[in-house]
């Protein structure tokens, strides 16, 4: 006997007992934790469900980081789409939780015996009938697919059967040192393995980028669930114990569909051999996957790194990834210290170049940071011409500072030839194509980034400009909403949504989104002003408010941006745009003149 009703909303039926979601008579495949989250929200439809309550009900008795819940909500929104009223079924209530806003009907036990129509003329079966039908359908499909595979192997050359790219994710290596201050080492090793694997047989092996992979740090999700969420065939997981000048690493390769362990190995080595061990792990993975290709090229020069320099390098990466002004400055100091210890290591110069380049436009003026970035990138390439990250950073400098389109294209193409899995190179090439007005190509590369880094907010933010400048205003709004689903407190997606909505003539929506961006931009977290309170975001929000007819509020937001700009860099090009939207032509020309001198982009 059922203890819970069947819920209906839109085209969907949710069996809370069986944990089955049905749409128009067909089962909707959905991971267990996703459907448990959906059940809690639907049972409380119309009411706010706090984040703590959701975490307690979906993961009872287990400590789970909040970003795991955000991923469940993101997945559900992608599966459910929009309701009959054109809105997403799940609404975010900032700083509180989530609310299911669809119209929900409960089906009682007496109603269950009678079929509920999915459309006006087609009956909708109950959950168990659908499941039985699905089993037989699946069995038939297996037979047909098996026959097709036999035919393909009989009539098709073997080499063509292995032409598809397989996808792999490197899960965050576990820190076994029992000291949280050593997390930087295990996190840095994870990032290094992702970069190393991205350059191994890239035409056949796709590797999920760092940002998405790191979201699974301390996650309790199953291998199958992570594989489904990231769309990967294989996972590399492991642990690291760092003690003095030695390190012990364990790694294992797992097939996601059946959790088969394909390969496992342990290494104990001095830190001087750490790069050699990383390459050996990469080679073992490709051997395990039996990729029938030409031997992989060695993309990095075999130069061992000094242990203390490597430690400083990983500390710098840890600070860099915090995304704060203080973190950028700490990273620069760490990388400079590492270079002083080991001036032969190309990766140290490449990292220094990237942090200088990425500090623009949120924390540094291009005229200050870009020449330093260029010098470091050129030194990295001089030491190792096959370092993809250095070529990608140099491409950014040529594009955004030198305004040398030809040189920028050459560097991006070189970076992508070395490592097509590099989200940094793909995003840079997206910006290059968009700058030249090749918008369709730009969007295609932005979509590649979304594939290899599906949970990354930064890459989605960067792609928003490509959508907007291409004139795809409705798509800009949709992409901004996806970014907000990943991080509801992010400021830039709201600002971009506001701009696009204003250009579409949707003044009320533009004003609401611009206000969200402005509120986010004016906020402080832990007394640290991160990218959310960037004056650049505030300037963008001011433009949108002016276009939406909110001139007084636009002036307030712009004044606040200019006040922040006394201590932080603001993109003068965007300030000029805000002045133009406010009808202040003289100030707009002054800002454009400053933008030209600062090389603002």
- CATH for 6-129? 1.10.10.10
The CATH 1.10.10.10 portion of the chain extends over: 6-129
Q: From residue 189, how far is each of 172, 180, 359 by CA, in Å?
A: 9, 15, 23
Instruction: Collapse the DSSP code of 528 into the 3-class scheme (helix H, G, I; strand E, B; otherwise coil) and give the result.
Output: strand
CB 416 within 8 A of CB 426: yes
What the block records as the tokens of 31 is 């991971």
Tell me which residue has tokens 């990273």: 331
Among 168, 171, 202, smallest CA distance to 288 is for 168
Among 235, 272, 221, smallest CA distance to 31 is for 221
The DSSP 8-state label assigned to residue 277 in this structure reads H
Tell me which residue has tokens 């307030």: 556
Query: Would you call 308 exposed, middle or buried from its count of C-beta atoms within 10 A (0-12, 13-18, 19+)?
Result: middle
What the block records as the tokens of 519 is 């509120």
Q: From residue 459, how far is each of 258, 428, 432, 450, 487 by CA, in Å?
A: 31, 10, 15, 8, 13
What the block records as the tokens of 466 is 């490509």
Beta-sheet pairing, 205-207 with 166-170:
parallel
What the block records as the tokens of 11 is 């085209």
Check residue 401 and give its pLDDT: 92
Give DSSP secondary structure letters for 9-26: ETTEEEETTTTEEEETTE
Among 398, 390, 429, 430, smallest CA distance to 412 is for 429
Kind and range of the H or E run holding 286: helix 274-289
Q: From residue 472, how far is each of 439, 464, 503, 598 by CA, in Å?
A: 10, 10, 11, 29
Q: How far is CA 465 from the centre of its chain?
A: 16
Residues with pLDDT less than 70, the chain:
1-3, 61-68, 108-164, 282-303, 362, 521-533
CB 112 within 8 A of CB 105: no
CA distance 141 to 147: 10
Whole-prediction pTM: 0.61
Name, in order, each residue with C-beta under 8 angstroms of 471's C-beta and a sequence gap of 6 or more: 439
Check residue 116 and give its pLDDT: 36
CB 601 within 8 A of CB 572: no
Q: What b/e readout covers 43-67, taking b as 16+ CB neighbours within 10 angstroms?
A: bbbeeebebeebbeebbeeeebeeb
Q: From residue 30, how far is each of 21, 36, 212, 224 by CA, in Å?
A: 8, 10, 20, 12
- When computed from its CA atoms, the radius of gyration of the chain, rounded to whole angstroms, is 26
The CATH 3.40.50.10070 portion of the chain extends over: 166-289
* CA-based torsion, 290, 294, 295, 301: positive or negative: negative
Check residue 81 and give its pLDDT: 80
Instruction: Collapse the DSSP code of 412 into the 3-class scheme (helix H, G, I; strand E, B; otherwise coil) and give the result.
Output: helix
CA distance 370 to 272: 32
CB 263 within 8 A of CB 253: yes
CA distance 262 to 236: 10
Domain boundaries 474-601, CATH class: mainly alpha
The CATH 1.25.40 portion of the chain extends over: 474-601
CA distance 596 to 601: 9
Cis peptide before 361 (omega within 30 of 0): yes
Tell me which residue has tokens 């097509």: 420
CA dihedral 54, 59, 61, 62 (to 10 degrees): -110
Query: Would you call 563 exposed, middle or buried from its count of C-beta atoms within 10 A (0-12, 13-18, 19+)?
Result: exposed
Check residue 526 and give its pLDDT: 34
Q: From residue 16, how far is each of 21, 48, 106, 127, 207 by CA, in Å?
A: 9, 19, 11, 10, 36
* Secondary structure of 369-406 in HEC code, one letter for each residue: HHHHHHHHHHHHHHHCCCCHHHHHHHHHHHHHHHCCHH
To which CATH superfamily is domain 166-289 assigned? TolB, N-terminal domain (3.40.50.10070)
CA distance 28 to 24: 10
CA dihedral 429, 431, 436, 441 (to 10 degrees): 60
């Amino acid at each position: 006997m059922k203890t819970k009703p069947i819920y209906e909303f839109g085209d969907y039926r949710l069996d809370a007992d069986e944990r089955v979601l049905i749409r128009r008579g067909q089962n909707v495949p959905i991971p267990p934790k996703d459907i448990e989250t959906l059940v809690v929200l639907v049972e409380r439809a119309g009411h706010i469900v706090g984040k703590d309550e959701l975490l307690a009900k979906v993961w009872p008795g287990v400590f789970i980081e909040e970003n795991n819940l955000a991923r469940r909500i993101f997945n559900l929104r992608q599966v459910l789409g929009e309701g009959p009223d054109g809105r997403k079924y799940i609404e975010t209530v900032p700083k509180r939780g989530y609310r299911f806003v669809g119209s929900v009907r409960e089906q009682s036990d007496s109603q269950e015996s009678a079929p509920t129509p999915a459309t006006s003329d087609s009956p909708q079966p109950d959950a168990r009938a659908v499941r039985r039908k699905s089993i037989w359908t699946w069995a038939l499909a297996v037979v047909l697919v098996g026959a097709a595979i036999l035919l393909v192997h009989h009539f098709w050359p073997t080499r063509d059967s292995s032409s598809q790219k397989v996808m792999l994710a490197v899960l965050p290596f576990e820190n076994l040192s029992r000291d949280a201050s050593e997390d930087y080492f295990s996190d840095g090793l994870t990032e290094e393995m992702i970069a190393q694997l991205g350059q191994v047989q890239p035409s056949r092996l796709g590797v999920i980028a760092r940002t998405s992979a790191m979201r699974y740090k301390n996650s309790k999700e199953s291998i199958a669930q992570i594989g489904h969420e990231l769309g990967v065939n294989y996972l590399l997981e492991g642990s690291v114990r760092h003690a003095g000048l030695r390190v012990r690493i364990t790694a294992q390769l797992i097939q996601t569909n059946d959790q088969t362990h394909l390969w496992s190995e342990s290494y104990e080595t001095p830190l001087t051999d750490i790069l050699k061990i990383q390459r050996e792990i990469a080679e073992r993975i490709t051997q395990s996957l039996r990729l029938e290709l030409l031997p992989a090229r060695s993309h990095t020069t075999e130069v061992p790194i000094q242990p203390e320099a490597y430690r400083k390098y990983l500390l710098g990466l840890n600070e860099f990834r915090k995304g704060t002004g203080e973190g950028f400055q700490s990273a620069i100091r760490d990388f400079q210290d590492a270079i002083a210890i080991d001036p032969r290591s190309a990766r140290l110069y490449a990292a220094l170049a990237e942090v200088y380049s990425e500090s623009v436009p949120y924390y540094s003026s291009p005229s200050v940071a870009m020449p330093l970035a260029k010098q470091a990138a050129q030194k990295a390439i001089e030491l190792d011409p096959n370092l993809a990250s250095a070529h990608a950073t140099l491409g950014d400098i040529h594009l955004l500072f030198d305004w040398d389109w030809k040189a920028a294209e050459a560097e991006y193409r070189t970076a992508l030839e070395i490592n097509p899995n590099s989200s940094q190179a793909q995003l840079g090439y997206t910006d290059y194509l968009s700058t030249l007005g090749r918008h369709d190509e730009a969007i295609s590369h932005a979509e590649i980034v979304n594939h290899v880094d599906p949970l990354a907010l930064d890459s989605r933010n960067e792609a928003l400009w490509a959508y907007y400048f291409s004139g795809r205003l409705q798509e800009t709004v949709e992409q901004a909403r996806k970014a907000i689903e990943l991080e509801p407190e992010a400021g830039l997606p709201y600002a971009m949504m506001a701009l696009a909505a204003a250009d579409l003539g949707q003044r009320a929506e533009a004003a609401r989104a611009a206000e969200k961006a402005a509120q986010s931009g004016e906020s402080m977290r832990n007394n640290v002003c991160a990218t959310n309170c960037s004056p650049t975001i505030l300037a963008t929000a001011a433009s949108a408010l002016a276009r939406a007819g909110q001139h007084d509020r636009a002036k307030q937001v712009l004044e606040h941006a200019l006040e922040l700009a006394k201590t932080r860099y603001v993109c003068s090009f965007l300030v000029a745009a805000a002045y133009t939207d406010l009808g202040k032509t003289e100030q707009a020309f002054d800002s454009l003149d400053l933008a030209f001198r600062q090389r603002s982009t």
